[in-house]
């Protein structure tokens, strides 16, 4: 579309700025499937700084999902190390990883993954329940997060009373409510139509630009990747390409140029 | 992550599936209420038997004169005149397992006071001064007659509550004179309320007079109808029975091949057998009911396992956003314990309600003991933990990545 791609070969941490938010150092991941060893990652190294908006791309089996799981502390590298906020999290226990996920990572999934029959507000409260935030503060923060994603008037709706785009925005509110170091979004627009996808990308871009929240997006759609400012391409368990986008797409501008939508979806209850 | 929050999470999760939660609870509700109601019925029956045993007196035995046997005609027990007061004295003297003895003479007839009269089923009993002790039957007002009254065949009597109420219509009978079979007797005491006997007789509808008075002044007889015996302990009733039988056979000069001309009845024995069988009955009922509780527990486990599978994705989400394994395990444990405890409490209410209904409509005695309620609550918690643990552990052990991918 309108964005111009600038190819850059490597990306290094400025030693003066201290450690990067995320450093993957020669990370290997091997799965044992019966007698066969599957090498999902073969020595991936990566730095992500605070405030970045990156898109991770690659064909299926390229290692991008494994990378996402490791970045999300859902999985541990077989070899190599992973530093998050200067802490080596590759050797932590299951419970320690759960705490890291709770405090430092926000997840947004393709299928929204909201708890059914649970109001938007309660869904957003959930991460704070596991953190032990007091009730009054929890309510306040959950409402605030829902307002940030533009759902301040839908806090008591159940997921099945919300459109796909709205559900995904609830998921985004949930991901940011514990003020994480990074939001990991795994194909967040995969289940959405193109207009709603742009709306969701607008939310991500605003969070990134206005609040400086670091976002890593996994997608196989090149169009969607263009909303990020940096693209990392995986192939065969290694990083094949890592480049900055000089002029990312702006979801805001695209939404403004689109003809106004007849409000049929957002107001039916 | 504190317990209260986990509790709230569990309650919310249960609330999301009200139908399934209540059906699961139904198993426990039925189990607990069955246990409570069965125990209430069983314990009610047992308590009734116990109170009847208490009514029987102190480790009491009866000796009754034997049956008449003349020319092919056999009368019932007590129809012959084989017992005499000296037999009673001998039992008191020579049987070491015996604590107290009283001869007994029975009569019936009309009671008159002023313009009132009373006949009905009134039994007139002649005894000695040991009667209240042997029967464990205290005096409510006035006093019982003394050994002197017995020796002198005094015309004094002690009356039961029913007669006091009916014949004297509210006024205090002690010191008043009434007529028994047309003879004037001074009322010197009123017995405490004893209630119905095991056979449904009103035991308070009775007049007690010295047995000598009954023999000489009412019936003109030298024999007695029975001997009331109190053994030194419940266990001693058996030896007492043996000692009395031996002694009386000897006194009545019965040869080795002759039948007894008397009967010894050990009431404690009978009552205790009844009590034993009622206890076996309770245990049987309770164990059948516990089986239904067990089935209820298995129902909980079944539903929790289904629930864990069905909510695999939910578990994945919770893990992804930072729930530790312990938090997941606790959530599912609390869910199953909540199901079983709420079911248990509802079961208690239902069981108590059923017991009350049964005792009201069928007139069965029921007794709801706090112990059975307490035990039901404890048991419900145990069922919840025992049958919830495996599903909870299964949930906590899930791999977050696979759980998130679960369709």
pLDDT digits (tens, 9 = 90+) for B369-381: 888 888 888 888 8
CB contact under 8 A, A126 and B1: no
Which residues is A25 bridged to in the sheet? A81
* Minimum-distance CB partner of A74 among B1, B16, B400: B400
Residue in chain B closest to A73 (alpha carbons) equals B320
pLDDT, residue A105, reads 95
Alpha helices in B124-160 (DSSP H): 131-134, 147-151
B32-85 pLDDT, tens per residue? 888 888 888 888 887 877 777 766 777 888 898 876 555 555 555 555 678 899
CB contact under 8 A, A116 and B321: no
Which residues is B63 bridged to in the sheet? B227, B264
Which residues is A125 bridged to in the sheet? none
CB contact under 8 A, A102 and B321: yes
Q: What residues of A are in contact with residue B327 (Cβ under 8 Å)?
A: 130
Q: What is the mean pLDDT of residues B347-367?
A: 88
The chain A residues in contact with chain B (CB within 8 A) are 69, 72, 74-75, 94-95, 98-99, 101-103, 107, 109, 113-118, 122, 126-127, 129-132, 174, 178
CB contact under 8 A, A129 and B320: no
pLDDT at B284 over 60: yes
Higher local confidence (pLDDT), B169 or B198: B169
DSSP track, A59-127: -TTSSHHHHHHHHTTSS--SEEEEEETTEE-TT--HHHHHHHHHHHEEEE-TT--PPTTS-HHHHHHHH
Instruction: Say if CB B61 and CB B229 are below 8 A apart.
Output: yes
Q: What residues of A are in contact with residue B323 (Cβ under 8 Å)?
A: 98, 102, 130
Residue in chain A closest to B407 (alpha carbons) equals A111
Q: What is the longest distance spanned by two Cα atoms in chain A?
A: 57
Q: What is the mean pLDDT of each run of 10 residues along chain A (269 residues)?
A: 41 52 93 89 92 93 91 93 91 93 94 90 92 91 94 93 94 94 94 92 94 93 94 94 93 87 52
> Looking at CA atoms only, how far is residue A14 from chain B in angstroms?
31
pLDDT, residue B122, reads 62
In chain B, what percentage of residues exceed pLDDT 70? 93
Residue in chain A closest to B315 (alpha carbons) equals A115
Q: What residues of B are in contact with residue A118 (Cβ under 8 Å)?
A: 12, 16
Q: Token digits for B279?
A: 């206890």
Rounded to the nearest integer, the mean pLDDT of chain B is 85
* Minimum-distance CB partner of A75 among B16, B327, B401: B401
Size of interface A-B (CB pairs under 8 A): 64
CB contact under 8 A, B401 and A178: no
A55-104 pLDDT, tens per residue? 999 988 899 989 999 999 999 999 999 999 989 998 899 999 999 999 99
CB contact under 8 A, A98 and B323: yes
Residue in chain B closest to A113 (alpha carbons) equals B317
Element (H, E) at B238: helix B236-251
Residue in chain B closest to A65 (alpha carbons) equals B401
Question: Best interface-test mutation with A: which of B12, B15, B322 has the largest number of A CBs within 10 A?
Answer: B322
Element (H, E) at B163: helix B161-167
Q: What residues of B are in contact with residue A218 (Cβ under 8 Å)?
A: none
Strand ranges for B160-318 from DSSP E = 177-180, 183-191, 206-210, 226-231, 262-266
B228-279 pLDDT, tens per residue? 999 888 778 888 989 999 999 988 888 888 888 888 888 776 777 777 787 7
Q: Is A150 left (phi over 0), alpha (psi -120 to 50) or beta?
A: left
CB contact under 8 A, A113 and B313: yes
Residue in chain A closest to B401 (alpha carbons) equals A74
In chain B, what percentage of residues exceed pLDDT 90? 27
Beta strands B206-210 and B226-231 are unpaired
pTM of the model: 0.69
Q: What residues of A are in contact with residue B401 (Cβ under 8 Å)?
A: 69, 74-75
């Amino acid at each position: 579309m309108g964005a111009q791609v600038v190819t850059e070969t490597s990306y290094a941490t400025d030693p003066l700025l201290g450690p990067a938010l995320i450093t993957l150092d020669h990370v290997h991941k091997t799965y044992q499937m019966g007698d066969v060893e599957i090498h999902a990652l073969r020595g991936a190294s990566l730095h992500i700084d605070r405030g970045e908006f990156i898109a991770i791309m690659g064909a299926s089996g390229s290692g991008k999902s494994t990378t996402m799981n490791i970045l999300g502390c859902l999985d541990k590298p077989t070899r190599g190390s992973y530093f998050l906020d200067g802490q080596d999290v590759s050797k932590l226990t299951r419970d320690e990883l759960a705490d890291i996920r709770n405090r430092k990572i926000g997840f947004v999934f393709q299928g929204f993954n909201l708890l059914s029959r649970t109001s938007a507000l309660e869904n957003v409260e959930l991460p704070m329940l596991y953190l032990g935030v007091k009730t009054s503060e929890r309510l306040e923060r959950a409402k605030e997060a829902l307002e940030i994603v533009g759902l301040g008037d839908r806090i008591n709706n159940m997921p099945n009373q919300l459109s796909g785009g709205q559900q995904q925005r609830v998921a985004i509110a949930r991901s940011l409510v514990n003020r994480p170091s990074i939001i990991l979004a795994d194909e967040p627009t995969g289940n959405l139509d193109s207009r709603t996808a742009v709306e969701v990308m607008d939310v991500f871009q605003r969070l990134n630009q206005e609040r400086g929240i670091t976002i890593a997006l996994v997608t196989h759609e090149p169009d969607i990747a263009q909303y990020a400012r940096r693209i990392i391409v995986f192939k065969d368990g290694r990083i094949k390409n890592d480049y900055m986008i000089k002029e990312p797409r702006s979801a805001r501008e695209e939404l403004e140029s689109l003809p106004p939508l007849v409000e049929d979806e957002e107001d039916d209850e | 992550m504190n317990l209260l929050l986990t509790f709230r999470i569990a309650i919310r999760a249960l609330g999301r599936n009200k139908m399934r939660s209540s059906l699961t609870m139904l198993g426990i509700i039925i189990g607990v209420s069955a246990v409570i109601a069965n125990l209430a019925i069983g314990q009610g029956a047992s308590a009734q038997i116990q109170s009847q045993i208490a009514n029987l007196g102190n480790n009491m035995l009866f000796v009754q004169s034997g049956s008449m046997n003349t020319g092919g005609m056999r009368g019932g027990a007590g129809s012959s005149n084989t017992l005499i007061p000296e037999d009673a004295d001998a039992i008191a003297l020579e049987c070491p397992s015996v604590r107290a003895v009283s001869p007994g003479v029975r009569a019936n007839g009309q009671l008159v006071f002023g313009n009132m009269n009373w006949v009905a089923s009134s039994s007139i009993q002649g005894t000695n001064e040991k009667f209240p002790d042997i029967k464990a039957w205290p005096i409510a007002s006035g006093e019982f007659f003394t050994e002197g009254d017995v020796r002198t065949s005094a015309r004094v009597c002690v009356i039961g509550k029913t007669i006091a109420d009916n014949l004297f219509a509210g006024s205090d009978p002690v010191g008043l004179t009434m007529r028994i079979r047309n003879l004037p007797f001074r009322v010197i005491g009123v017995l405490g309320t004893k209630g119905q006997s095991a056979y449904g007789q009103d035991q308070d509808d009775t007049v007690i007079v010295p047995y000598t008075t009954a023999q000489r002044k009412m019936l003109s007889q030298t024999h007695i109808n029975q001997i009331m015996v109190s053994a030194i302990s419940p266990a001693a009733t058996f030896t007492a029975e043996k000692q009395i039988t031996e002694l009386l056979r000897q006194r009545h000069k019965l040869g080795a091949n002759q039948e007894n001309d008397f009967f010894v009845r050990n009431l404690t024995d009978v009552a205790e057998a009844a009590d034993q069988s009622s206890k076996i009955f309770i245990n049987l009922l309770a164990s059948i009911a516990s089986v239904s509780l067990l089935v209820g527990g298995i129902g909980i486990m079944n539903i929790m396992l289904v629930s864990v599978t069905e909510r695999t994705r939910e578990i994945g989400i919770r893990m992804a956003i930072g729930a530790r394994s312990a938090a997941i395990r606790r959530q599912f444990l609390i869910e199953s314990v909540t199901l079983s405890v709420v079911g248990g409490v509802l079961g208690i209410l239902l069981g108590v309600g059923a017991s009350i209904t049964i005792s009201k409509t069928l007139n069965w005695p029921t007794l709801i003991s706090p112990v059975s309620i307490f035990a039901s609550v404890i048991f419900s918690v145990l069922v919840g933990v025992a049958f919830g643990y495996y599903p909870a552990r299964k949930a906590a052990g899930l791999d977050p990545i696979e759980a998130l991918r679960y369709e």
